[in-house]
Amino acid sequence: MNRIEEMIRELCPNGVEYKALGEIGTFVRGNGLQKKDFTEEGVGCIHYGQIYTYYNLFASQTKSYVDPILARKLTKVKTGDIIIACTSENIEDVCKAIAWLGEDEIVTGGHASVFSHEQNPKYISYFFNTDNFFQQKKKYARGAKVVDIKVGDIAKIEIPVPPLSIQEEIVTILDKFTELEAELEAELEAELEARRKQYEYYRNKLLNFKKFGGGDSEGVKWYKLGDLGVFYGGLSGKSKSDFTDGNAKFVTYMNVYSNIAIDTNINDMVKIAEGEKQNKIEYGDVVFTGSSETPEDCGMSSVMTTQPSENLYLNSFCFGFRIYDKTLLLPDFMKFLFRSENTRKQIVKTASGVTRFNVSKKRFGKVVIPIPPMEEQQRIVAILDKFEALVNDISEGLPAEIAVRRRQYEYYRDKLLTFKRKEDAKIQPCS
The answer as to whether 336 is a domain residue is yes
**Do residue 315 and residue 381 come from a single domain?**
no
The answer as to whether 239 is a domain residue is yes
Instruction: Identify the pLDDT of residue 426.
Output: 41
Q: Are 313 and 248 in contact (CB under 8 A)?
A: yes
**CATH classification at residue 361:** 3.90.220.20
**Do residue 257 and residue 313 come from a single domain?**
yes
Could you give the CA distance from residue 385 to residue 330 in angstroms, rounded to a whole number? 13
Instruction: Identify the pLDDT of residue 420.
Output: 85
Instruction: Identify the pLDDT of residue 217.
Output: 62
Tell how far CA 228 is from the center of its chain. 31
**Do residue 41 and residue 176 come from a single domain?**
no
pLDDT digit string (tens) for 272-302? 999 999 999 999 999 999 999 889 999 999 9
Q: What is the layout of strands, in order, in the sheet containing 75-77?
A: 38-39, 64-66, 43-46, 106-108, 75-77
Instruction: Identify the pLDDT of residue 396.
Output: 58
Q: How far is CA 80 from CA 17, 100, 174, 182, in A?
A: 22, 5, 18, 23
Q: How far is CA 371 from CA 21, 117, 396, in A?
A: 56, 59, 32
The answer as to whether 328 is a domain residue is yes
The answer as to whether 365 is a domain residue is yes
**Do residue 226 and residue 366 come from a single domain?**
yes
Q: Domain count of the chain?
A: 3
pTM listed for this prediction: 0.56
**Do residue 43 and residue 113 come from a single domain?**
yes
**Do residue 361 and residue 260 come from a single domain?**
yes
**Do residue 384 and residue 363 come from a single domain?**
no
- Low-confidence stretches of the chain (pLDDT < 70) are 1, 144, 211-218, 392-400, 402, 423-431
The answer as to whether 213 is a domain residue is no
Question: Sign (positive/negative) of CA torsion 398, 399, 404, 407?
Answer: positive
Could you give the CA distance from residue 66 to residue 45 in angstroms, rounded to a whole number? 7
Helix (H, G, I), strand (E, B) or coil at 98: strand
- Residue ranges making up the domain that contains 189: 1-17+162-208+375-423
**Do residue 186 and residue 65 come from a single domain?**
no
**Do residue 152 and residue 127 come from a single domain?**
yes
Helix (H, G, I), strand (E, B) or coil at 87: strand
pLDDT digit string (tens) for 223-259? 999 999 999 999 999 988 899 889 999 999 999 999 9
**Do residue 327 and residue 351 come from a single domain?**
yes
Could you give the CA distance from residue 88 to residue 85 in angstroms, rounded to a whole number? 7
The answer as to whether 132 is a domain residue is yes
The answer as to whether 410 is a domain residue is yes
Instruction: Identify the pLDDT of residue 427.
Output: 40
**Do residue 366 and residue 334 come from a single domain?**
yes
**Do residue 194 and residue 234 come from a single domain?**
no
Q: What angle do CA 216, 221, 224 make, to 5 degrees?
A: 130
Instruction: Identify the pLDDT of residue 215.
Output: 53
The answer as to whether 170 is a domain residue is yes
